[in-house]
Amino acid sequence: MGFAIIGLGGYALNQMMPRFALAQRSHIAAIVSGNPEKLKQVGDAYGVPPDARYTYDSFDAIADDKRVEAVYIVLPSGLHAAWTEKAFAAGKHVLCEKPMALSSEECARMIAAAERAKRKLMIAYRSYFEPHNRLAMALMAQKALGPLRLLRADHSYRMGPVTPAQNWRLDRALAGGGPLEDLGIYGLQAALYLTQEVPELITASTYQPEGDARFTQIFAHVGAQLRFPSGAVAQLSTSYDAAGANTVSARGATGVLTMDPATSYSGQKMRLEQAGQAGRDLTPGDPDVQFAGQLDHFADAIRDGGQIKTPGQMGLRDVRLMEAIYASARTGRYVRLNPDGTMLD
Ligand code: NAD
């Protein structure tokens, strides 16, 4: 299946585009960029014909390009909704990077655009295709830890001395509240796919330091506590101003699963401890398969008509939960939720 890649930035160039070579059913058919030099350089490197190199201005002509069946959106998060809508208007399927968008209203528009166009929408949640995270989901389904009680997820790194004008990740219009949409979303996702539940109660707090040029528009850290209908409680923390962390742990009544790093590009490690048994390090496979795996899953769903594991509805649910986290932090109150992640009050 031919993909047009829109947004030739760090993640597209360094991670996803090289991984198309490992995909069975997906290839790069076109590229879209505002930078003519990049179009030439990247187009030549990937053998993209000159007439399949689009600019943001010429993008609409992609509608008539039969080589392109899907558009992969790897733009700053605040641009996901508008370009998803344009791609559906051009009759293409859409694979959209996380976070799906910056508001639930944008997500709802994206889902409606997919329905109107009768095309598929998938959110690029790569952990669903990563062997350690997949094994963790299977272990939870088998109740390998007994009933799940406590979860913890920490995702952070220390942002260098940049300003919103220099890096879109610090710009509220393009990044929302900041680290939660970018990094914390991995922990939020993990809490949901490990419990297989949607929280019913959220409390949270945010911190935006004064006098730090990095955090004039976004938060430096976000912390949240989620309670699930089963009674399990998850603690999430995320920061752009703390030493690197990428850890998830789940503690049941009779065992513990620790993943560190949990949701990185590579190097995942996981350890299972069960009552009465020696702890075991688990090595279910190479994390690298997550990148091509998500591309081929999308191609499979389109070609063979299967269910998408990470559909637009999941992206919408997660954006709703992030809105609830911010609402709790803003008001200083806990937020009660419906099963679809919308706020009860
Ligand atoms: P980046 O800054 O490296 O690249 C962004 C690209 O968008 C650049 O090519 C830039 O030129 C282009 N762009 C177009 N309009 C722009 C504008 N108005 N402002 C700024 N840039 C503009 O960012 P990235 O790290 O590649 O992230 C892109 C998307 O991919 C984000 O949504 C991010 O959340 C997602 N991402 C996902 C993962 C993952 O593991 N799934 C990892 C990194 C990034």
Measured in angstroms, how far is the CA atom of residue 332 from the centroid of ligand 1? 32
Q: Each residue of 82-114: pLDDT tens digit?
A: 999 999 999 999 999 999 999 999 999 999 999
> Which pair of tokens denotes residue 343?
């706020």
303 CA → ligand 1 middle, Å: 28
Please give the pLDDT value at position 23: 98
Query: Measuring CA to CA, how many Å separate 126 from each of 98, 130, 139, 153, 169?
Result: 9, 7, 19, 17, 20
Is 168 touching ligand 1 by the criterion CB < 6 Å?
A: yes
Atom of ligand 1 nearest to the CA of 12: 26
Q: What phi and psi, each to the nearest 5 degrees, are found at residue 96?
A: -115, 135
Q: What is the pLDDT of residue 52?
A: 98
Inter-residue long-range contacts of 297-301, CB under 8 Å, 24+ positions, other chains counted: 297/122, 297/129, 298/1, 298/26, 298/70, 298/93, 298/95, 298/120, 298/122, 299/1, 299/23, 299/25, 299/26, 299/70, 300/25, 301/120, 301/122
Q: Which residue CA neighbors atom 42 of ligand 1 most closely?
A: 11
Q: Count CB neighbours of 105 within 10 A.
A: 12
CA distances from 112 to 60, 295, 312 (A): 19, 23, 10
* Ligand 1 close to Cβ of residue 234 (< 6 A): no
**pLDDT tens, position by position, 119-134:** 999 999 999 999 999 9
> Closest ligand 1 atom, CA of 77?
32
Could you give the CA distance from residue 176 to residue 171 in angstroms, rounded to a whole number? Answer: 7
- Indicate whether this model's pTM tops 0.95: yes
Q: Is the CB of 76 under 6 A from ligand 1?
A: yes
* Alpha-carbon gap, residue 314 to 189, rounded angstroms: 9
Under a CB-based contact definition with an 8 Å cutoff, are residues 202 and 326 in contact?
Answer: no
Indicate the DSSP class of residue 22.
G
Indicate which residue's Cα is closest to atom 30 of ligand 1.
74
Cα of 114 vs its chain's centroid, Å: 19
Packed helices 104-117 and 80-89: angle between N→C axes, nearest 10 degrees: 10
The catalytic residue positions are 98, 186
pLDDT, position 322: 98
Q: For residue 345, what pLDDT is reported?
A: 82
Low-confidence ranges of the chain (pLDDT < 50): none
Residue located nearest, by CA, to atom 2 of ligand 1: 9
The number of residues making up the chain comes to 345
